[in-house]
Amino acid sequence: MPYDFSYTQNRELSWLRFNERVLEESTDTSVPLYERLKFVSIFTSNLDEFFMVRVGGLNDLSLLKTEPVDNKSNQTPSQQLESIFEAMPRLYTMRAESFKELEENLENYQIKRLTPDTLSPEQFKFVNDYVQSFLLPILNPQIIESRHPFPNLKNLGLYCAFILDTKEDKGLLGMIEVPQSEARVIYLPGEDSDNLSYILIEDAILACAAQSFGEVSVVGQAVIRLTRNADIDPDEVIFDEDDNYRQHMKRVLKKRMRLQPVRLEIQGELDPKIVKQIRKTLDLQANQVIYSSCPVEQSYIWEIEDHIPGFLTTELLYEPFSPQPSIEFDPHRSVTEQIYAQDKLLWYPYESMTPFLELIHEAAFDPEVISIKITLYRIAKKSKLAESLIAAAENGKEVTVLMELRARFDEENNIIWAERLEDAGCTVTYGQEGFKVHSKICQITRRVDGHIIRLTQLGTGNYNEKTAGIYSDFSYMTADDRIGDDANTFFRNMSIGNLNGTYNYLGVAPSSLKPLIMMGINKEIFKAKANKPAGLIFKMNSLTDRDVIDKLVEASQAGVDVKLIIRGICCLLPGIPGKTERIEVRSIAGRFLEHARVYAFGVNADRIYLSSADMMTRNTEHRVEIAYPILDVRLRQMVMDVLQVQLKDNVKARILGADGIYRKVERGPEEAEFISQEYFMDVAKQNAAQNNLSDEQMTQARKNVARRSMVTSLNLSENDLSNLAPSTQQAQTKTADDADLAEEPQSFTDVKYKRSAGASAEASPLFEEHLPESFEEEPILELEVEELSERTAENKEASDFDVAENTTLVRTHKSIPEGRFARFGKYLSLAFKALFGKDK
């Protein structure tokens, strides 16, 4: 099937535009000065990963005899690489200009980075003494000639290169590897304690280490850094069956350091002939050599922050913000007890991860807990969560950890934790061959009065205490059996390698997540064609999946209003006449990294799914991901409020144009500035303050604080507020706790997605919710789904280069925890439907 390229763009160029928006934050004068410098560092580290993964992968594909063609831009890998390197000079110039301006401004605060040519005689003596005492004994200088071949440069390692003249030879190349074991920053003494002067270790070596080559003259010097392809697939590396999988991954990590070079950065002055010599040795093209006037590696910027004099932090850094205690939880009650009483939702980083950590800690010591099962993709190096899992295993609980060792650039940390968990008695398993397990799910199973009760947590982000303080993510905790039964099925399927299991409420990639999203879009298309209000709001990190893009375009053409909040890559171009006119794409880059994935269907968001998955082919077809419904009306409204607030951002948000360029949101002449992340911080602090209220006041505050603060912060009328979220009356029209979903649980993995006129709820749970109101008018989705499957199979190679039983358990009242009696009648209702059929 031929593709329409009029409304799509290349993913790599889209990503570069995203990273350019990150760099733009460094020029925003409303951002504290040193925080702006940190955005330059983020831009640099983002670019490093882009070259290692995306450019590395494209480089591999460009070597194929027949190059595949990208299905968004109709370009081959070679053409994409050419476009990428054409964009580099401009981006490097922008970085250099911003970096220079920021360092000059920081000098006004006595914060100064020194270089070899800016050292005073006293400072040079200090640096030289430091180099002589601490560095020269461990440095290994090398002159490149016939007996000393060019060294194997490590991926992203720093090297000092010298052009040397001796009595016998001129223009020799000397190399010194910058030792990674030593501190990157050397702080210089000063008469004023408020003066922060420092030099980077590579500059100290350039200034003082040339003498280690003997009697030579230095006629040129620079810092160089090589980037290698890190897009290595562990499943394609030969696996010795005599080794365990952890040993296999350790070998993979070593191999990554020696893969094909893709970029050489040079900071300093080197003779063009020497550069050509280095380039040919590394088998690089001329456009793969990039010159930089600022440090090529900038992670040191985060270290300097800790040395800024205290009296300057208020002016140079963001006002400190710590994730706040959630108003959802009473700190004086058991977290487990509170979740059994009512579903809970945490909103990181505005709310603290502590309740979830306490949940796992309670489970580790709860005598009624039988087992804990969890998937781990990225966790902190110092992880309270992992320590609680170890404690649980040592206390005799059955702890099962599905550890994904292939989480790129976190492999080593995951290997270390896998070994510790296994040593403590946890059962540690690994992802399926060819499919990374990227889902975020945890289940705690308890035996209470002889009955099995499950508590399930699902998240949009990793179980990482560190990133939970800087990434925006949702964490959903529920004791609802509908979710719990599916979660139990998921872990059972993972234990036997079944990627095509059947679920009633969860959409699980690679088999049923994308069909779930496609059917949700279809329902809105059917509504629009019937002249009924229809809308979609999706929030994600990236959109590249061609099938989803085409379906969103179909929705726009049918009259569905589509609002997309996409932080990074967006291969869909909005505003194309006759095709994407009803699609709006926004991106928000700010203090926190927008990471949550939300898929909201309907103008009032009567269906909301949170997910670990972006709409990228790698996620929807080549990973194990989960999308899960928010069944509680109250929590669904909370999520909808978050989306609507972000759509009001007129400072940090950018609007994507039909030309692929992002532009600032235009504000009206009297429209106040509104930053969504600052709003969420304010609300979180207001909510946390409510913990000082009495129990009666707390209950009322939980009902009113979000709406009241929204009216105040956004300066909205009550009419405007009703457009932000369903009114209380609208929410009440959906039966309590979303009984409409309970009435028709859906199996999203029914192969043909069929239903007949006489189909029972058991045969096709929840499916009607994704069909048109009049089934006779729009009969069956079978043809469309089959067509989708065929297209997916046919275009798998050229898709994205990303190749990378419906049973309700009715319990006795003794088995239902306090606070959940309100749901007992619903359980009975479900049982009668299962026993006697839908229409009885």
Which amino acids are annotated catalytic? Answer: 438
CA torsion sign for 613, 617, 623, 626 is positive
**Helix spans in 192-244 (H):** 201-208
528, exposed or middle or buried, with CB in 10 Å at 0-12, 13-18, 19+? buried
CB 547 within 8 A of CB 514: yes
In the structure encoding, which two tokens stand for residue 45, read together?
A: 């580290």
The position carrying tokens 């990503």 is: 15
CA distance 676 to 136: 51
ω into 349 cis (within 30 of 0): yes
Distance of alpha carbon 446 from its chain centroid, rounded? 32
Radius of gyration of the chain (CA): 29
Region of 86 please: left (phi>0), alpha (psi -120 to 50) or beta. alpha
The position carrying tokens 């599916």 is: 486
Q: 704: which residues sit within 8 A by CB, 6+ positions away?
A: none
Strand partners, 509: 625
Q: What is the dihedral of CA 194, 200, 206, 208, to 10 degrees?
A: 50
* DSSP for residue 434: T
Q: 364: which residues sit within 8 A by CB, 6+ positions away?
A: 372, 388, 389, 391, 392, 395, 397
What order of strands is seen across the sheet that includes strand 142-143? 142-143, 172-177, 158-165, 217-228, 261-269, 289-291
Helix axes 11-24, 77-107, angle to 10 degrees: 0
> What is the greatest pairwise CA distance in the chain?
102
Which stretches of 104-178 are assigned E, i.e. beta strand? Answer: 111-114, 142-143, 158-165, 172-177
* DSSP for residue 435: B
Residue 403 carries which side chain, given as an amino acid letter?
A: M
Distances (CA, A) of 134 to 121, 128, 139, 209, 618: 20, 10, 9, 12, 47
Distances (CA, A) of 667 to 181, 274, 588, 670: 51, 53, 16, 8
CA distance 562 to 559: 9
CA distance 793 to 783: 15
CB 163 within 8 A of CB 220: yes
Number of residues in the chain: 840
Strand partners, 196: 111
Q: 332: which residues sit within 8 A by CB, 6+ positions away?
A: none
Helix axes 695-714, 676-689, angle to 10 degrees: 160
CB 505 within 8 A of CB 482: yes
CB 654 within 8 A of CB 587: yes
In the structure encoding, which two tokens stand for residue 225, read together?
A: 């850094």
From the list 742, 767, 765, 764, the residue with the least C-alpha distance to 830 is: 742
CA distance 196 to 316: 14
**Helix spans in 570-667 (H):** 617-622, 633-647
Which stretches of 155-244 are assigned E, i.e. beta strand? Answer: 158-165, 172-177, 185-188, 196-200, 217-228
